Amino acid sequence: MTRISLVLAVTAVLALAGQAQAGPDALGSDVWFLRDGQPVAAHRTAPGIPGLVRALLAGPTRRERGDGLRTAIPTGTALRDLTVAHRVVTVDLGARFTAGRDDASLRARVGQLVRTLRAVPGVVGVRVRIEGGVPVGLFPGYDLRTTVRAPAPDAHAPALRDVQQLLADLGFMAPTGVTGTPGDETSVAVLAFQKWSGEPRSGVLDARTTAAIAHATRPQPVLHRPGKRVEILLGRQVALAIVGNRVERVFHISSGSYGRTPSGQFRVYRKERMSWSVPFSTWMPFASYFVGGIAFHSYPSVPAYPASHGCVRMMARDAPLMYAFATYGTPVDVVRETLA
């Protein structure tokens, strides 16, 4: 288990300390489950905020299950890390949190987590991340009657739709993502932009990142070669879909850890809509192989750093786009950059 660290400013310590306690480090609060699809609170006493999250992940007790309480959070979801800074709790969960997810299920499980943490006095926001990299979202407020709500907009900040349009114009997200509504599609586009531009890889659209997007120009390929091709930039952890030396899309990826993705010039030689990995006994949807057993493919966990056994992991939304783009014979240039 990763060490659970709490990084708190003095004011945040004071704000979070006034809790009902059954012992020196105990925190008494509610965790939120579901009954017939509706949120239901169950009281817990746990050792601090990490203990409260673990109590939520453990699910309802046998007695509570007998009373009809259920959870949308998959059994076995791990708490990898938890930090508190400026009264915002950042929870880093294992990939099982997103297992088999659909929009309704994801909203339900995020809702349980955010309700639980926002019930702790002094907590003003909750940030959810998967496997240390992929942001699910930042939730500053929560309406206990409905669903996660967005923070009040900054009167001096550009509208979210305008920022999304800039991200689409620059090639970091699809035009269909320009909705004016926050969500993981925007967070992943922001993360890809931060990777490209050298900003901290948070996936959070803060003032610094918003200003950088406003002044950005469309990315340029590292190499200059004719035709349609893909560049994988191992330093930045992005893949560029290029046509005629114009970058059409910038994708957030996670390549092989410890240099397992080889650099060089390759071509797509095999494609499988559902590819079975024999060594790792797992399905790899939308797989486009370009060297040996290494392919682009969809994967539930796509952190902001190299994490695979060699393949290029892509988000479930992005992998079909790369699968359609990288047809048989498409050149794939894997570049091992030296970043300043």
DSSP-assigned letters across all residues of 30-75 = EEEEEETTEEEEEEEEEEHHHHHHHHHHH---HHHHHTT-B-SSPT
Per-residue pLDDT, 262? 95
Rounded-to-integer distance, Cα 236 and Cα 29, Å: 41
- CATH fold for domain 228-335: L,D-transpeptidase catalytic domain-like (2.40.440)
* Angstrom distance (rounded) from CA 46 to CA 33: 16
Structure tokens at 168: 């689409």
Residues of the chain under the 50 pLDDT cut: 1-24, 101, 140-153
pLDDT for the residue numbered 136? 61
User: Do 322 and 270 meet the contact criterion of CB atoms below 8 Å apart?
Assistant: no
Cα separation of 29 and 195, whole Å?
A: 38
47, amino acid identity: P
| Burial zone of 5 (CB within 10 Å; 0-12 exposed, 13-18 middle, 19+ buried) | exposed
* pLDDT score for 11: 31
Residues 6+ apart with CB under 8 A from 37: 108
Domain with CATH 2.40.440.10 in the chain: 228-335
Which H or E run includes 184?
Answer: helix 184-197
